[in-house]
Structure 1
Amino acid sequence: MRSLIGIAGGLSWQKFLAFVLKGYTLERSYRPNFWARYIEAFTGLVFVYFLGRLFSTPPAAVAAYGVDYFTFALVGTVFSQYLNTVLRQFALGLREEMLTGTIEPLLVTVTHPSLALLGGAFWALLEGLVILALQLLAGWLLGARFLGANWPTLVITIALSLVCLSAWGIASAAFVLIFKKGDPIAWLVSGTTYIFGGVYFPVSILPRWLQVVAYALPVTHALEAIRGALLQGLSLGQLGRPLLALLAFTVVLLPVSLALFRYATHRARQDGSLAHY
C-alpha cells in the first residue's frame, strides 16, 4: 500500500509528460521499428477482415452479440493486443533501462523508485491506445459496426482492465529485477489469451472444464465487458459479473504486485545487481 501511495503521490503531470516524451523520443529515433508497429497492427486487421469473410452468417454464439463475425473478432483482436501490451510493457521497459545502464541514475532522482523504474512504459501504453483507436476506425471503414455502443461504460471498462493487467505487468517486472530474464508470468497469461480469452470465439463454446481455465484469466472478463459495452450497449449494472471479477483481480493483485516489486528493488539494491542483466 505504501508503494501505491508513493507512486500516486509522486506522479505529476510534468513527470508523466516527461516519461511519455522520453519514450516517444527513444522510439522515434528508431524509425523502422516505430512504423513497423503501425504496419503490423493494420496487417493483423486485414487478416481478421478476410477471416470474417469466411462467415457470411455468424455462428449462433457470435450472433448473440448482434454483430457479424468480423466485428466480433475485430474487437477481440485489437483489445487483446492492447491488454497484452499493458501486461508486457513494464518488464520490457525495465529490461531496456537495464541494457542502457540508466537504472541507477533514475534511482538517485527525487522520483519514487517504483515510478522511476516503471515510468518507461507510459509512452507504450499511450501509443497502444492510439493504435487501438486507429484499428477500430479502420475496422469501421471496412464494415464493422458498433451501433448502440455505450461509450461511457466502455471507457470505465477499459480503465479498469488497464489497471488490472498493469498489476500482472508490475509482477512481471519484479520477476525481471530478481532473475534478470524474461518472465513466465506475461508468457503464461498472454500465451493462453488467444485460446481461452475469447479473442476469436466466445468462451461459451468451450467445454465446461476449459471454461474454468478461461475465467481464471483477467483478459477473459475484460473482453466480455468490453464487448458488452461496445457491441451490445450494456450498462455498468448489466456488466456486473465481468466487472466485479476484474475488480476482484485488481484488489488482490495490485497491492501484491507493488509489494513484490518493492521487495525486488530492495533486494537488487542490497546485492548490487540492480544494473546487471
Structure 2
Amino acid sequence: MSAAVAYADSALAILQRDFRLAWSYRFRFFSRYLSTLFSLALFYYVSRMVSGGAGFESSDEYYAFAVIGIIILQVLTSVLAMPPMNLRQELVMGSWERTVVSPLGPVAGVLGMMAFPFLQAAVSAVVTLVFAALFFGIDVAWATAPLALPVALLGAVAFLPFGILLVAGVLAFKQASMGASYIITAISLVGGLYFPVALLPDWIEWTSQVQPFTPAADLLRHLILGTDIPSDPWLDVAKLTGFALVLLPLSVAGLRLVLERVRRTGTIVEY
C-alpha cells in the first residue's frame, strides 16, 4: 500500500511539473484552443460541399462526424506524438537522469510523463465539443454524452501501448520519433476519423477491424451524437478492453527490454 501511495505521489509530482512548464508558455497554452476553433471552422466550410451520399443525409451530419474525428485525433496526438517528444526534451535537458534514479524508476516515469498530455487532450476534447455546439450548431446527445468519458478513457488505455513503443524507440535509437506522425496519418485514413471506413477499398478495409481506433470512434459518435453504430456497442467495448489487456503488458515488457539494453550499453541518459 505504501509503495502504491509513493508511486501515486511521484506521478502527481510529474503531472504538476509538466503543468507548470506548459503554463509558463501561456500563449502556446491557450493558442491550442484557438487552433481548435480554426480547425472546426475549416471542417465546417468543407462540410458545406457535402450534400448527401457516403451515408450522410446532410452537410451537418458529415460535420458532426468529422468533429468526433478531430477529438479523437487530439487524444491520439497526446498518446502517440507527445510522449516521445517529451522524452527527447528530458534527455536533452538532462532531467531524465533524475527520473531514472528516483524511486519511481524509468518505466513508471515514462507512464507518468503521459498523464499531463492526456489530461490536456481531454480538456481540449471537451472544449472542441463545446465550440462545435455553440458556434457551429452540432446536435449533441446530452443524455448519453457523459458516458463518452469512460469510453474515451478506455480508448486512451487501448491507444497507450503504441505510445509506449514509440517512447521505447526513442530510447533505443536516440532519435525523435518520426513514426508517430506516420501512424497518426495512417489511423486517420483507416480508422474512420474523417470518412466512413465503408468507403475504403476492399483490400484495405480489413485494417479498420484490427486496431482499437475504429471501435473507439464508433462508440464516441454513438454516445455523443446519437448516431447508429455498425455493430453491437458492447462488442466494441469488448474489443477496446481486449486491446488494452493484451497490448499494454506487451508494450511495457518491450519498454523494459529496451531499458535493460540501454543500461547495459550505458546510453540510458544519452541522446
TM > 0.5 between the two?
Answer: yes
Instruction: Identify the residue that residue 193 of structure 1 maps to in structure 2.
Output: 187
Question: Aligned to 2:11, which of 13, 16, 22?
Answer: 16
Instruction: Identify the residue that residue 95 of structure 1 maps to in structure 2.
Output: 88
Distance 1:264 1:31 in 2: 35
Is 1:80 the counterpart of 2:73? The answer is: yes
Q: CA deviation at 1:114?
A: 1.0
| Local SS of the residue matching 2:55 | helix
Change (3 A) 1:79 1:226: same
Distance 1:146 1:39 in 2: 21
Q: CA deviation at 1:168?
A: 0.8
Q: CA deviation at 1:175?
A: 0.9
Instruction: Identify the residue that residue 227 of structure 1 maps to in structure 2.
Output: 221
Instruction: Identify the residue that residue 239 of structure 2 maps to in structure 1.
Output: 245
| Local SS of the residue matching 2:175 | coil
Distance 1:212 1:59 in 2: 22
Q: CA deviation at 1:215?
A: 2.5
CA contact (8 A) 2:66 2:193 kept: yes
Distance 1:275 1:181 in 2: 13
Residue pairs, 1:4-153, within 5 angstroms:
9=4, 13-55=8-50, 57-63=51-57, 68-141=61-134, 142-147=136-141, 149-153=143-147
Question: Aligned to 2:168, which of 158, 174, 183?
Answer: 174
Distance 1:233 1:205 in 2: 18
CA contact (8 A) 2:170 2:177 kept: yes
1:48 aligned partner, one-letter code = F
Q: CA deviation at 1:31?
A: 3.1
| Local SS of the residue matching 2:137 | coil
Distance 2:5 2:108 in 1: 8
Change (3 A) 1:42 1:19: same
Unaligned runs of 5+ in 1: 1-5
Q: CA deviation at 1:171?
A: 1.0
Q: CA deviation at 1:148?
A: 5.9
Q: CA deviation at 1:21?
A: 1.4
Residue pairs, 1:157-172, within 5 angstroms:
157-172=151-166
Distance 2:265 2:5 in 1: 26
Instruction: Identify the residue that residue 269 of structure 2 maps to in structure 1.
Output: 275
Change (3 A) 1:148 1:128: closer
CA contact (8 A) 1:62 1:69 kept: yes
Distance 2:256 2:112 in 1: 15
Unaligned runs of 5+ in 2: none
Q: CA deviation at 1:12?
A: 5.0
Instruction: Identify the residue that residue 264 of structure 1 maps to in structure 2.
Output: 258
Runs of 4+ aligned residues of structure 1 deviating over 6 Å after TM superposition are: none
Distance 1:36 1:96 in 2: 21
Distance 1:248 1:20 in 2: 28
Q: CA deviation at 1:11?
A: 6.3
Distance 1:191 1:49 in 2: 21
CA contact (8 A) 1:23 1:122 kept: no
Distance 1:61 1:231 in 2: 15
Instruction: Identify the residue that residue 3 of structure 1 maps to in structure 2.
Output: none
Question: Aligned to 2:212, which of 205, 218, 226?
Answer: 218
